[in-house]
Structure 1
Amino acid sequence: MPGIPATPRGIEHRATVSRQLAALIGALRDADPGERRFSGSGRGGRLADHDDWVSECLQRSEHLLPVDRLRRMWDRARSLPREDADVLCHGDLIPANLLVDGADGADGTDGADGADVTGTASRLVGVLDTGGFGPADPALDLVVAWHLLDAERRAVLREQLRASDLQWARGAAWALEQALGLVWYYERTLPAMADLGRTTLGRLLEDPVLA
């Protein structure tokens, strides 16, 4: 497939990509799930079902992360109610599963019209790892906002998807649950994934959505 894998910060300033991601998520949501509903124990069901995993992650991250702040965030996030029916979701929209065309990693930003002011525009050209595609909480695919985008570009994605306050907060909660498992688990075996976890958690700690 064409393109190169995205990185956590390589295209965080690109409004073009944020609009493409919103279009992708919207298209998946528009697919007909039939009679299928979320099942299983993975992400996409009840946030509180992941309490034991989050507790283990926080315990193992004492020397790596600001666990007291993150524990307070999870305490707020885990009880967020659900208002939306299941829709079809990719289920794992992390940077490594997104292919981009252009200078991923460049320092350029998008102008007001979405054009890359450096002239080395990046755009989404492919999506990988679709085996988990299935019905889930519509907020699940919103994790990509904190995995890949800065605050301004997150706002672009949210506006295009018309995500409610509650759905947006649940998206942040799923991103928190996923990112907490990346740093300690991959610290020595796969540093790129540990870096993704740190980057995502940094964005969440700076974002008032779970404050």
Structure 2
Amino acid sequence: MKRLVAAQFPQWRDLSVRPVEVDGWDNRTYRLGEALTARLPTADGYVPAVAKENEWLPRLAPALPVAVPSIMGEGVPGEGYPYPWSVRGWLDGETAARGRIDDMEQFAVSLADFILALQRCDTTGGPPAGEHSWYRGASPAYYDEETRRCLAALDGRVDTGRAAAVWEAALDAEWSGEPVWFHGDIASGNLLVADGKLTAVIDFGTSGVGDPACDLVIAWGMFSGDSRETFRRAVGQDEGTWARARGWLLWKCLLTLTGNIDTDPERAAVDQRLIAQVLADHERFG
């Protein structure tokens, strides 16, 4: 990493380089000194996100109510590393664990405000949902075969009849609205908090222009009870969009549960809890 920085950004060659404390799967991120980070894709499939974020984050940032990564430099393959990469400004804050949030209902409102502000951003020339977004922003039908395979594998171990009803409802609620910007991976690890409040949103690698239903999955992944109700009211969205959001969550939970139900009881319990919540939500609102 130090050789890569020195070769392409000699003005930063003397900065310290160290891995960030909390890293992701799609990219490896390093601190460069105290004010910068280097972000490097880990595989071919994550490369399109580099140019997309480099182009669009500076355009989106002025319209958003909290900070997003600033692009400070655009790296190219070199020093044995095969992919384009980027240098960004460091954003202070910690990932949004519940214990770091002062007021979950206020946090739900702040996150809803971010989602709605993102949806209001100009979509002209924006990247339509597709392979670069791992089909976030497209119809959940893209994952229909995979979902049905998981339902078959889990028959007798989860309530696959009720789960199939949620999935069918998601497919039936076809999206017909105007394309809007979506983030694509709104999860606690991509939300930063400081002093108990939302201060930044990171990792726009799966962002694009299309159906915003995928951005509502956080309703179950992070919120519960009053905070979930607050988020639902604050973010709005029609019932079809919520039906597709339930489909997105169900697909992901079924997929991971299929892989971990016999090997990782702790993770399996999380997936099973989320599935139960989304089934109950479907029966309440669907």
- TM-score using structure 1 length: 0.74
The CA deviation at 1:38 is: 2.0
The CA deviation at 1:160 is: 1.9
SS in structure 1 of the partner of residue 172 of structure 2: coil
Q: Return the match for 1:46 from 122, 125, 139.
A: 139
Corresponding position of 1:92: 185
The CA deviation at 1:209 is: 5.1
Partner Cα distance (2:100, 2:163) in 1: 25
Corresponding position of 1:107: none
Alignment of 1:129-140 (within 5 A): 129-140=203-214
Partner Cα distance (2:123, 2:271) in 1: 31
Residues 96/194 of structure 1: CA separation in 2 closer, same or farther (3 Å cut): farther
Corresponding position of 1:169: 243
Structure having the higher Rg: 2
Post-superposition Cα deviations, 1:118-173, rounded to whole Å, max 9, x if no partner, equal: xxxx4333333221121120222011112111143222222222312222222222
Answer whether contact 2:137 2:214 (CA < 8 A) is retained: yes
Amino acid at match of 2:272: R
Alignment of 1:127-206 (within 5 A): 127-187=201-261, 194-206=268-280
Answer whether contact 1:44 1:140 (CA < 8 A) is retained: yes
Q: How big is the alpha-carbon RMSD for the aligned residues of Structure 1 and Structure 2?
A: 2.9
The CA deviation at 1:195 is: 4.7
Answer whether contact 1:77 1:210 (CA < 8 A) is retained: no
SS in structure 2 of the partner of residue 153 of structure 1: helix
Residues 95/200 of structure 1: CA separation in 2 closer, same or farther (3 Å cut): farther
Answer whether contact 2:130 2:136 (CA < 8 A) is retained: no
Residue 141 of structure 2 corresponds to residue 67 of structure 1: no
Partner Cα distance (1:6, 1:192) in 2: 18
Residues 168/90 of structure 1: CA separation in 2 closer, same or farther (3 Å cut): same
SS in structure 2 of the partner of residue 139 of structure 1: helix
Bigger relative CO (Cα 8 Å, ≥ 6 apart): 1
Answer whether contact 1:3 1:125 (CA < 8 A) is retained: no
Partner Cα distance (1:6, 1:188) in 2: 27
Alignment of 1:21-40 (within 5 A): 21-36=111-126, 37-40=128-131
Partner Cα distance (1:25, 1:35) in 2: 20
Instruction: Could you tell me which runs of 5 or more consecutive residues in structure 1 were left unpaired when the two chains were aligned.
Output: 103-121
- Which protein has the bigger strand share? 2
Residues 6/185 of structure 1: CA separation in 2 closer, same or farther (3 Å cut): farther
The CA deviation at 1:35 is: 2.9
Identity of aligned residues (%): 27
SS in structure 2 of the partner of residue 81 of structure 1: coil
Count of matched residue positions in the alignment of Structure 1 and Structure 2: 190
Residues 126/35 of structure 1: CA separation in 2 closer, same or farther (3 Å cut): closer
Post-superposition Cα deviations, 1:12-55, rounded to whole Å, max 9, x if no partner, equal: x8201110110111121122221332233623212322210101
SS in structure 1 of the partner of residue 216 of structure 2: helix
Partner Cα distance (1:57, 1:126) in 2: 35
- TM-score using structure 2 length: 0.57
